[in-house]
């Protein structure tokens, strides 16, 4: 089996995870910028983090034969501080030409506040000005429905953005149709305690079809399972999916979306 892990926070994982992922058939990993678990004290913290994502982490992944790509932003969890966000958004263009940078992400909302909205709009403008693709984080739990609606409004309002170059991640049963109907790609995140389980993700694939959908583990420093994409592929097999249809979801779909970025190239098998 082959698969792409399109959303993994590998800086917070151990090298054993890289070994397990490659052994399971992972063809590449893509790492959106995210919250460190604490607020960074200045823009310099982001400079260091972006260096880690664009320099050190791809080298660490390469030791296990795994291509590593990333997305850059200030995460919505740190967006209440608009001044800091302005400094980080001004820093990002210095990194956009680096070979493993795919675009702006994971931007979005966390608690759906006015400042988070301002920072989201700043990121969307940044992506538009630099012709970058976008990866969007939608809020957790009770805030997801409202946040997803607000995010869609913000992105649709900016006519420079092509919806097919945007993926809105962490959809669940109450948000997936909103995202797909608006023309965006949708990501389903496979978590053990929140977001969605492998069984529910497959339910959604069976209900909504597999166009413009991908699966990811979003593994990070919290409760998460780096192999949840291949585990879900196994679940699909148990439910009678054939190998070609599984491959479309776990490999060809992310390949199709990510290949809209010219820098996204995989080594020939």
Partner 1 sequence: MTRQQVLDLYFMDARFKLIELAAFLDRVDRAEGQADFRLDAFRQAVGELDGNKPERAKQVLLAFSDPTAEPIEKAPGKGAVGAWPGKGG
If the CB atoms of residues 16 and 181 are measured against partner 1, the closer one turns out to be 181
If the CB atoms of residues 81 and 247 are measured against partner 1, the closer one turns out to be 81
Residue 124 beta carbon to partner 1: minimum distance, rounded to whole angstroms: 15
Specify whether the CB–CB gap between 132 and 104 falls below 8 A.
yes
Q: Per the structure block, which two tokens stand in for 101? A: 């940078």
DSSP, res 140: P
For partner 1, the binding residues in 162-181 under the rule CB under 8 A are 172-174
Q: Per the structure block, which two tokens stand in for 241? A: 């999916």
If the CB atoms of residues 54 and 112 are measured against partner 1, the closer one turns out to be 112
Q: How many other C-beta atoms can be found within 10 angstroms of the C-beta atom of residue 197?
A: 17
If the CB atoms of residues 16 and 142 are measured against partner 1, the closer one turns out to be 142
Residue 100 beta carbon to partner 1: minimum distance, rounded to whole angstroms: 28
For partner 1, the binding residues in 220-239 under the rule CB under 8 A are 238-239
If the CB atoms of residues 29 and 171 are measured against partner 1, the closer one turns out to be 171
For partner 1, the binding residues in 53-82 under the rule CB under 8 A are 77, 80
Residue 200 beta carbon to partner 1: minimum distance, rounded to whole angstroms: 7
Query: Could you say which of 16, 141, 262, 268 contacts partner 1 (CB under 8 A)?
Result: 141
CA distance 102 to 97: 9
If the CB atoms of residues 76 and 230 are measured against partner 1, the closer one turns out to be 76
Closest C-alpha among 135, 149, 147, 137 to residue 111: 147
Q: Which residues of 124-158 are buried (b: 16+ CB within 10 A; e: fewer)?
A: bebbbeeebbbbbbbbeeeebbebbebbbebbeee
Q: Per the structure block, which two tokens stand in for 39? A: 């607020």
For partner 1, the binding residues in 96-135 under the rule CB under 8 A are 110-117
Residue 141 beta carbon to partner 1: minimum distance, rounded to whole angstroms: 4
In the three-class reduction of DSSP (H, G, I as helix; E, B as strand; rest coil), residue 111 is classed as coil
The site map against partner 1 for 17-46 (x = CB under 8 A) is ------------------x-----------
For partner 1, the binding residues in 188-207 under the rule CB under 8 A are 199-200, 203
Say whether residue 139 binds partner 1 (CB under 8 A): yes
Say whether residue 16 binds partner 1 (CB under 8 A): no
Q: Which residues of 90-110 are buried (b: 16+ CB within 10 A; e: fewer)?
A: ebbeebbebebbbbbbbbbbb
> What is the secondary structure of 215-262 as a DSSP string?
EE----SSS--TTHHHHHHHHHHHTT--HHHHHIIIIIHHHHHHTTST
Query: Could you say which of 2, 98, 149, 156 contacts partner 1 (CB under 8 A)?
Result: 149
For partner 1 (CB under 8 A), the number of binding residues is 30
Closest C-alpha among 13, 31, 2, 5 to residue 220: 13
Chain residues in the site for partner 1 (CB under 8 A) = 35, 77, 80, 110-117, 139-146, 149-150, 172-174, 199-200, 203, 238-240
């Amino acid at each position: 089996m082959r698969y792409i892990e399109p959303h993994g926070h590998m800086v917070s994982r151990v090298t054993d995870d890289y070994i397990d992922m490659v052994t399971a058939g992972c063809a590449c990993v893509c790492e959106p910028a995210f919250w460190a678990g604490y607020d960074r004290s200045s823009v310099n913290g982001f400079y260091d983090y972006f260096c880690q994502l664009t320099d050190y982490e791809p080298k660490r992944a390469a030791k296990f034969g795994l291509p590593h790509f990333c997305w850059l932003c200030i995460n919505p969890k740190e967006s209440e501080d608009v001044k800091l966000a302005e400094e980080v958004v001004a820093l990002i263009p210095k990194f956009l030409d680096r070979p493993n940078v795919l675009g702006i992400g994971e931007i979005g909302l966390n608690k759906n506040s006015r400042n988070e909205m301002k920072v989201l709009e700043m990121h969307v403008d940044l992506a538009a000005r630099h012709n970058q693709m976008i990866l969007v984080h939608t809020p957790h739990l009770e805030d997801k429905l409202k946040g997803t609606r607000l995010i869609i409004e913000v992105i649709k309002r900016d006519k420079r953005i092509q919806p097919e170059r945007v993926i809105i991640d962490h959809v669940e049963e109450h948000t997936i149709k909103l995202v797909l109907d608006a023309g965006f790609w949708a990501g389903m995140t496979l978590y053990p305690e929140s977001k969605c389980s492998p069984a529910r993700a497959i339910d959604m694939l069976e209900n909504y079809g597999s166009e413009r959908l991908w699966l990811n583990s979003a593994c990070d420093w919290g409760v998460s399972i780096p192999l949840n994409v291949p585990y879900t592929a196994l679940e699909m097999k148990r439910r009678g999916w054939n190998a070609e249809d599984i491959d479309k979801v776990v490999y060809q779909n992310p390949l199709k979306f990510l290949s809209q970025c010219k820098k996204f190239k995989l080594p020939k098998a």
